[in-house]
Chain A
Amino acid sequence: GAVVSQHPSWVICKSGTSVKIECRSLDFQATTMFWYRQFPKQSLMLMATSNEGSKATYEQGVEKDKFLINHASLTLSTLTVTSAHPEDSSFYICSAPTGGMETQYFGPGTRLLVL
């Protein structure tokens, strides 16, 4: 299957700082990528759709100014959590579609802990 990587795999930061998470498609190009968030013992929630060369589309209730998304190339999308607070601590996962059916393949996730 297609490979999607994320960096870093985990990060600890102080409250008020910004954190950038990278999502890369390693063996295919993706004009669209998706960002999800998962709190403990809960399911994945879609945050936004990242579009190469245009603005991201955010799901209802997700603050676009807090979660900045940049789809810089056909293999890279970044999510920046600005002015992070403890309630932003979560597991952030990206996915990218590929293949004839545009099946989504997921990255390994980034665990964020805000102190």
Chain B
Amino acid sequence: DAKTTQPPSMDCAEGRAANLPCNHSTISGNEYVYWYRQIHSQGPQYIIHGLKNNETNEMASLIITEDRKSSTLILPHATLRDTAVYYCIVRGTGTASKLTFGTGTRLQVTL
């Protein structure tokens, strides 16, 4: 699976949009971009995934560049409960396709 690069940490004011970038320049054509987050001392929580089109759900939006070499996760109105480590993962398809976790981005939402 392709490797991803994320900034180690970011801050965001509560109520503002949090934009978390991810570089995956070696992504191949059949690999998806997945985002998970891990709140302290909990298991990772699935957020969203996409192949090439932008995606939106109740939690976040995912913007993937046209060349698919990078993406941005957007939390439109960050709250204190969004403070977590956010992981961007590139993954192939299929049940046995593994998730390889990098170091992620530690997002701190402040008052």
Task: Tell me whether A and B are bound partners.
Answer: yes
Which residues on A are within 8 Å of B, measured CB to CB?
1, 4, 6, 31-32, 34, 36, 43-46, 49, 91, 93, 95, 97, 101-109, 111
Chain B, residue nearest A104 (CB): B99
Asked whether any CB of chain A lies closer than 8 Å to the CB of B30, the reply is no
Interface centre among B34, B45, B100, B101 (most CB of A within 10 A): B101
Chain A, residue nearest B102 (CB): A43
- B12 vs chain A, min Cβ distance (A): 21
Contact A106 B45 (CB under 8 A): yes
Asked whether any CB of chain A lies closer than 8 Å to the CB of B43, the reply is yes
Segment with Cβ contacts to A, from B21-29, B67-75, B76-84, B90-98: B90-98
Contacts of A101 in B (CB 8 A): 32, 49, 93
Q: List 17 A-B contacts (CB under 8 A).
A: A1-B46, A31-B95, A43-B104, A46-B100, A95-B44, A97-B95, A101-B32, A101-B49, A102-B93, A102-B97, A103-B46, A103-B49, A106-B36, A106-B43, A107-B43, A109-B43, A111-B41
Chain B, residue nearest A45 (CB): B101
Which residues on B are within 8 Å of A, measured CB to CB?
32, 34, 36, 38, 41-46, 49, 87, 93-104
Contacts of B93 in A (CB 8 A): 101-102
Contacts of B38 in A (CB 8 A): 44
Contacts of B49 in A (CB 8 A): 101, 103
Distance, CA A32 to CA B104, complexed state (A) = 25
- A29 vs chain B, min Cβ distance (A): 12
Contact B46 A46 (CB under 8 A): no
Contacts of B98 in A (CB 8 A): 34, 46, 49
Chain A, residue nearest B87 (CB): A43
Contacts of A97 in B (CB 8 A): 95
Distance, CA A108 to CA B87, complexed state (A) = 17
- B95 vs chain A, min Cβ distance (A): 5
Contacts of B32 in A (CB 8 A): 101
